[in-house]
């Protein structure tokens, strides 16, 4: 395992994650007690188990282990042996859990559901990060997240080396095609946004090079190039460098990992990839009891 040089920032939001944990536990206890554990295991039985990845990947969300276990019983001890953002190998030990057996087994599924989900996002993001290495481009997520999961999902993107887009509708302005259609032009929508929210970051989406040229005259913070091909993206960078060098460019729409480098080599600053959080393949991680 290779530990990151510094902790992931911002850290995982504890309160937002606890809401998810409590929701998961409420579903598991919706029809009463953990019948299997209560029937099969003595009340005073203790258990020691290891949290083990079944495959290589990038781990994220290790705090959910302790937070989930302690929702069931504060007597459970969780010792974490890795750090979020680590590249882990199959068969290693991420954490050791020990304490009341019933509590550990009752909390197991909720804890692993969240850990494998976050680690899957981090693993997928890291694949993009590796492909973009050596370019100026960074991979960014979107708001395409399940309700309640946004903070955990976006934290996992950071663990994989990605960059977060806005967290909500209120921390930045993103003028998209439907906003433009309502106003009449991308430039007009941008002017209105700068007057209404002068202190917020403002990004405007454009559909073609003509629209880009019109918008660049306004020296925007950030422009999203929606469904541009590689050659048009390269031309967009040329125009940006000539007309508004401080403007950042973000490629968006239908991007795939096998074409990521071609886009990055054009000189864009970001690749927006909604699939980081809306098409997640979990990282398989299990809880293995020790004899």
Residue 61 has a pLDDT of 98
Q: Do domains 14-130+280-289 and 131-278 have the same CATH topology?
A: no
Beta bridge partners of 98: 48, 77
What are the backbone dihedrals phi and psi of residue 175, each rounded to the nearest 5 degrees, phi first?
-90, 110
Give domain limits for the chain.
14-130+280-289, 131-278
Active-site positions read 109, 144, 176, 205, 226
| Superfamily name with CATH number, domain 131-278 | Aldolase class I (3.20.20.70)
Residue 2 has a pLDDT of 53
> 162-166: long-range contacts at Cβ-Cβ below 8 A with a sequence spacing of 24 or more?
162/125, 162/128, 162/129, 162/138, 162/276, 163/138, 163/139, 163/270, 164/140, 165/140, 165/141, 165/272, 166/201
Residue 169 has a pLDDT of 97
Kindly report the length of the chain. Answer: 291
Predicted structure pTM score: 0.96
- The burial class, CB within 10 Å (0-12 / 13-18 / 19+), for 158 is buried
- pLDDT tens per residue across span 105-128: 999 999 999 999 999 999 999 999
Beta bridge partners of 78: 97
Residue 71 has a pLDDT of 98
| Superfamily name with CATH number, domain 14-130+280-289 | Quinolinate phosphoribosyl transferase, N-terminal domain (3.90.1170.20)
Residues lower than pLDDT 50 in the chain: none
What the block records as the tokens of 283 is 């990282």
């Amino acid at each position: 395992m290779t530990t990151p040089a510094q902790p992931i920032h911002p850290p995982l939001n504890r309160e937002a994650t606890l809401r998810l944990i409590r929701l998961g536990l409420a579903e598991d206890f919706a029809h009463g007690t953990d019948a299997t554990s209560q029937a099969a295991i003595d009340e005073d039985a203790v258990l020691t188990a290891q949290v083990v990845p079944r495959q290589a990947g990038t781990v994220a969300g290790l705090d959910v282990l302790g937070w989930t276990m302690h929702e069931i019983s504060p007597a459970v001890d969780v010792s974490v042996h890795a750090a979020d953002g680590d590249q882990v190998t199959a068969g290693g030990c991420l954490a050791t859990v020990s304490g009341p057996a019933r509590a550990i087994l009752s909390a197991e599924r909720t804890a692993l559901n969240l850990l494998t989900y976050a680690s899957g996002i981090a693993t997928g993001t890291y694949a993009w990060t590796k492909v973009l290495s050596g370019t100026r481009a960074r991979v960014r997520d979107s708001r395409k997240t399940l309700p309640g999961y946004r903070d955990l999902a976006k934290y996992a993107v950071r663990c994989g080396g990605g960059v977060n887009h806005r967290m909500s509708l209120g921390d930045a302005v993103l003028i998209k095609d439907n906003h433009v259609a309502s106003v009449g032009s991308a430039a007009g929508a941008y002017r209105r946004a700068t007057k209404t929210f002068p202190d917020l970051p403002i990004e405007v989406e454009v559909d073609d090079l003509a629209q880009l040229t019109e918008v660049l005259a306004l020296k925007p913070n950030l422009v999203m190039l929606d469904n541009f091909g590689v050659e048009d993206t390269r031309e967009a960078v040329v125009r940006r460098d000539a007309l508004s060098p401080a403007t950042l460019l973000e490629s968006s729409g239908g991007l795939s990992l096998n074409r990521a480098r071609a886009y990055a080599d054009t000189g864009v600053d970001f690749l927006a990839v909604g699939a980081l959080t809306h098409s997640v393949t979990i990282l398989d991680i299990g809880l293995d009891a020790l004899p």
